[in-house]
Amino acid sequence: MKRIGKKVAIGLLAAILAVGAFTGCGREKNTKDIIKIGSKDFSENVILAEIYALALENEGYDVERVFNVASSAVHTAIVNKEVDLYPEYTGTGLLSVLNLPLETDPQTVYDIVKKEYKEQFDIDWLNYAAANDSQGLVITKKAADEYGIKTISDLQKHATELRFASQGEFDEREDGIPALEKAYGSFEWKSSKVYETGLLFEILKKDEADVAPVYTTAGQLVQSEFQILEDDKYVWPPYNIAPVVRGEVLEAHPDIADILNKVNEKIDTETIVKLNAKVDVDKEEYEEVAKEFYDSIKE
């Protein structure tokens, strides 16, 4: 084999370095960069997880989607490193995971879960969104207008004139009617019947009831005939949306925080209600809904 001249060798070395520099531009796509994003098993959480996935992919990450994990199991999944991050709710972290006393101030709840998750699980909470998926009471616009009802205090005063549609559990659960009556006084409904959770909005729409327990980001709330009542005595804790990320993943990829925090800045309660409505009411595919939203906010 002929010996390579010094100048030729230098030239080859420069060429190799140049190719290496070129191929090294941007994020390398390899297994070390695959981020496993989880979600709970309901539309809103899947939509949020898909938006997070799109945001990370837009910044060069490979993403593995581990969606529709049972809500009761998703925390265990992140602790066991089966997922790297997922959308969580501050109130869920406080009450269901940490089993700590009720707090109603959003920043206080966030500060507690952020500190305790880091200390107990080495899991980081990124910034929380304005969107609040809390417990709530919905009333038909017709009944609200007839009796001048805007708050749960107003509702309590007119309970004897209103028909309540429950799903049963709400009547007994500690954070349901018992919590409301402790703060607002007794609710002596004109009538109270139990229905399946998925039928509550339909029951209201058919004028078979006036009031029902719902979540404050339910897609059906986009319809003008329904109105969420203000919890003016702050019975229910906030359930603000935020990504939770395994500490070692965030340490290895600190830019994840900036990427997802920018997304969360764009998600308020009205926004998530509209996204949920597209999937749960209009029956659009969650992937399309998430992509349309992300395309509208990405820089």
- Give Cβ neighbours of residue 216 (< 8 Å, ≥ 6 apart): 132, 133, 134, 135, 136, 228, 269
Q: Give the pLDDT confidence score for residue 4 in this predicted structure.
A: 39
Q: Give the pLDDT confidence score for residue 175 in this predicted structure.
A: 81
CATH code for the domain of 45: 3.40.190.10
Residue 122 near residue 247, CB atoms below 8 Å: yes
Do you know the residue count of the chain?
299
Residue 92 near residue 215, CB atoms below 8 Å: no
In a domain, 167, yes or no: yes
In a domain, 191, yes or no: yes
Residue span of the structural domain in which 121 resides = 31-132+239-297
Total domains present in the chain? 2
Q: Give the pLDDT confidence score for residue 130 in this predicted structure.
A: 97
**Comparing C-alpha atoms, which of 87, 57, 84, 115 is closest to residue 248?**
84
Q: Is residue 126 domain-shared with residue 141, that is, in the same domain?
A: no
* Integer Cα distance of 94 and 109 in angstroms: 7
- Give Cβ neighbours of residue 9 (< 8 Å, ≥ 6 apart): none
Blockwise average pLDDT, block size 10, the chain, 299 residues: 40 42 44 84 97 97 97 96 98 94 94 98 98 96 98 98 93 87 96 94 97 96 95 94 98 97 97 97 97 94
Q: Is residue 290 domain-shared with residue 171, that is, in the same domain?
A: no
Q: 228, 256, 284: which is the final residue of a domain?
A: 228
Q: Is residue 62 domain-shared with residue 42, that is, in the same domain?
A: yes
* Integer Cα distance of 92 and 135 in angstroms: 11
Q: Give the pLDDT confidence score for residue 186 in this predicted structure.
A: 96
* Integer Cα distance of 1 and 114 in angstroms: 64
Give the full edge-to-edge strand order of the sheet including 191-194.
191-194, 163-166, 211-215, 135-140, 226-228
Q: 228, 247, 281: which is the final residue of a domain?
A: 228
Q: Give the pLDDT confidence score for residue 248 in this predicted structure.
A: 97
